[in-house]
């Protein structure tokens, strides 16, 4: 899932997990690079999604990986050897995947979210190192046998953009964006790829309100004159 800041990536990912555990009996794990539990839980309660209760009932686990995020790195004025060497960076990611595997087994998780890949890869300056890390993480996630959503950031706005390496590795790509036209803004998403499934190829509008994210597949964002 790709999208610019504030497009609703975290909300949609959380909604996917909450629907899973509340309506489909599918437990879930949220791996957070950007927000701590203390921030995430009350924020999601605004939509009526009680992740604390789900956690207490053994249906949900939250992994706080904010120590690996860009904010944590920016805070560390001098990068220690552990975080600056390639080996060190890979080890930290391996540990995270291990922790995820443990939590998944413990609660029998069928759904996983990693929010965001961009924050996890922030430390890999070298494009080749970054690509290798991306292949590793996406492969290990697909080996876990759950349905996994990874979010990432889209810095290039507009309909034309460069494809990122990650997009070739995953089964599906959903792009979320905010369109500006005639003084109004419209939220819209598009399924760019979904292996093995016939999908609506159109740019489809969506809204965010106190119930979460709602998609309007029958509506077009391009108004006819």
Give me the sheet containing 2-3, strands edge to edge. 152-153, 2-3, 172-181, 184-194, 204-209, 212-215
Nearer Cβ to Mg ion, position 10 or 148? 10
- When binding is defined by CB under 6 A, the residue of 23, 81, 160, 209 that contacts ligand ATP is 209
For residue 205, state whether it binds ligand ATP (rule: CB under 6 A). no
Which of 4-12, 20-28, 74-82, 162-170 is the region at the interface with ligand ATP (rule: CB under 6 A)? 4-12
Nearer Cβ to ligand ATP, position 3 or 205? 3
Chain centroid to CA 110: how far? 16
Helices 86-107 + 127-143 axis angle, to 10? 20
For residue 224, state whether it binds ligand ATP (rule: CB under 6 A). no
Measure the CA angle with vertex 181, ends 180 and 186; round to 5°.
Answer: 55
Residues between 7 and 66 with contacts to ligand ATP, criterion CB under 6 A: 7-11, 34
Residue 62 C-beta: closest distance to ligand ATP, Å: 16
Phi, psi values for residue 127, rounded to 5°: -60, -30
Residue 212 C-beta: closest distance to ligand ATP, Å: 8
Report the C-alpha gap between 80 and 85 in whole angstroms.
Answer: 9
Long-range CB contacts (< 8 A, 24+ apart) of 19-23? 20/110, 20/111, 21/54, 21/59, 21/60, 21/111, 22/54
For residue 210, state whether it binds ligand ATP (rule: CB under 6 A). yes
> For Mg ion, how many residues bind (rule: CB under 5 A)?
1
Residues between 1 and 30 with contacts to Mg ion, criterion CB under 5 A: 10
Nearer Cβ to ligand ATP, position 7 or 69? 7
Nearer Cβ to ligand ATP, position 107 or 206? 206
| Paired tokens of 137 | 């993480």
Residue 3 C-beta: closest distance to ligand ATP, Å: 5
Residue 69 C-beta: closest distance to Mg ion, Å: 11
Q: How many CB atoms neighbour CB 196 within 10 A? A: 6
Residue that the structure tokens 């922030």 belong to = 122
Residues that bind ligand ATP (CB under 6 A): 3, 5-11, 34, 208-210
């Amino acid at each position: 899932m790709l999208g610019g800041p504030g497009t609703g990536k975290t909300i949609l990912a959380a909604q996917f997990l909450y629907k899973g555990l509340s309506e489909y009996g599918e437990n879930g794990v949220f791996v957070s690079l950007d927000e701590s539990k203390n921030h995430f839980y009350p924020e999601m309660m605004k939509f009526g999604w009680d992740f604390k209760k789900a956690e207490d009932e053994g249906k949900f686990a939250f992994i706080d990986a904010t120590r690996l995020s860009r904010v944590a790195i920016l805070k560390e004025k001098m990068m220690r050897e552990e975080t600056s060497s390639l080996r060190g960076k890979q080890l930290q990611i391996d540990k995270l995947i291990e922790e995820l595997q443990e939590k998944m087994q413990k609660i029998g998780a069928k759904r996983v979210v990693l929010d965001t890949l961009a924050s996890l890869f922030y430390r890999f300056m070298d494009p080749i190192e970054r690509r290798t890390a991306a292949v590793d993480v996406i492969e290990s996630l697909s080996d876990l046998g759950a349905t996994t959503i990874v979010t990432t950031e889209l810095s290039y706005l507009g309909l034309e953009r460069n494809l990122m390496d990650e997009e070739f590795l995953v089964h599906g790509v959903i792009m979320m964006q905010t369109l500006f036209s005639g003084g109004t803004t419209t939220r819209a998403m598009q399924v760019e790829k979904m292996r093995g499934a016939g999908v609506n190829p159109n740019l489809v509008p969506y809204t965010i309100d106190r119930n979460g994210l709602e998609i309007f597949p029958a509506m077009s964002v391009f108004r006819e004159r």
